[in-house]
Amino acid sequence: MFWKWLGVGIVCFFLIPKAIADTVLVGNADAGRQKSTACVACHNADGNSSVPAWPKIAGLPEKYLIEQLKEYRKGDKGTRFNPVMYAIVQGLSDQDIADLAAFFASQKRTAGSTASQWVLPGEKIYRGGNSKTGVPACSACHSAKGEGNIPAGFPPLSGQQPGYVIQQLEDFKAGTRANDPNAIMRDISKRMSDEEREAVGNYVSGLH
């Protein structure tokens, strides 16, 4: 009996730390609202930035927001280094991040618009890609209406700020953003022309 209980004890000793490590923190939206003061200057109180270069984070999935904030928190050791974001999030705990993600995920993203000059060229790439250069249709991963595919890790693009989307495509191309699964966005962005990146960035802003 002693050896039986000793064996159980040894197993538990090794299993408990793993269970604790795998615990998923539950975010609290109300707490996140209170902690979002530093976010307001760029993203506005509800996460709908009014500046083309700064993203709308309202309505983005909690899991996606948590992943991005944690990468920002790693600084230049992470896969998405941004000096401004690093300065803001480096002191956040995992619970802080979970709360902020819960709050902004609960907000409704405002609709954007697309200037007429970008509708046709943007739609062409977004829905059909470019077979000559190996650029796949954006809709294949981000859905026809830009709603994304969260289980697969592809974020929604509908209503997003055009300047921000264009900058992310450029960052993926340069490799300064490298948190895309299997380097899929880095590969695609390298195949896109400057005009295609600009067209897509402007097109998804008015996509809904």
Record the pTM. Answer: 0.87
Distance of CA 80 to the CA centre of its chain: 11
Give Cα 29 to chain centroid, integer Å. Answer: 18
| The pLDDT of residue 22 | 45
| Whether residue 152 is found in the same domain as residue 78 | no
User: What's the number of domains the chain is made of?
Assistant: 2
Q: Is the pLDDT of residue 156 over 70?
A: yes
The domain boundary, picked from 71, 105, 139, lies at 105
| Distance (Å, whole) CA 200 – CA 192 | 10
Residues 87 and 121 both lie in one domain: no
At 43-90, the pLDDT tens digits run 999 999 999 999 999 999 999 999 999 999 999 999 999 999 999 999
pLDDT in tens, 92-133: 999 999 999 999 999 999 999 999 999 999 999 999 999 999
Q: Does residue 69 belong to any structural domain of this protein?
A: yes
Q: Tell me, yes or no, whether 6 lies in a domain.
A: no
Query: pLDDT at position 151, please?
Result: 87
Judged on CB neighbours under 10 Å (0-12, 13-18, 19+), 71 is: buried
With cut-offs at 50, 70 and 90, classify the pLDDT of residue 150: confident
For residue 6, pLDDT over 70 is answered with no
123 and 95 in a common domain: no
d(CA 196, CA 130) in angstroms, rounded, equals: 9
**Cβ pair 137, 196 in contact under 8 A:** no
Looking at 50, 70, 105, which one is the last position of a domain? Answer: 105
Domain end (from 72, 105, 138):
105
What pLDDT, on the 0 to 100 scale, is given for residue 98?
98
pLDDT of 152: 87
Mean pLDDT of 168-185: 96
Q: How much is the pLDDT for 197?
A: 98
The model's pLDDT over 9-43, given as tens digits with 9 standing for 90+, comes to: 444 434 444 444 445 789 999 999 999 999 999 99
Check residue 25 and give its pLDDT.
86
- Domain membership flag for residue 24: no
Residue 4 is predicted with a pLDDT of: 47
Question: Rounded to whole angstroms, what are the CA distances from 41 to 38, 45, 46, 47, 164?
Answer: 7, 8, 11, 10, 16
Residue 200 predicted with pLDDT over 50: yes
Q: How confident is the model at residue 178 (pLDDT cuts 50, 70, 90)?
A: very high
Decide if 66 is inside a domain: yes
User: What range defines the domain where residue 35 resides?
Assistant: 29-105
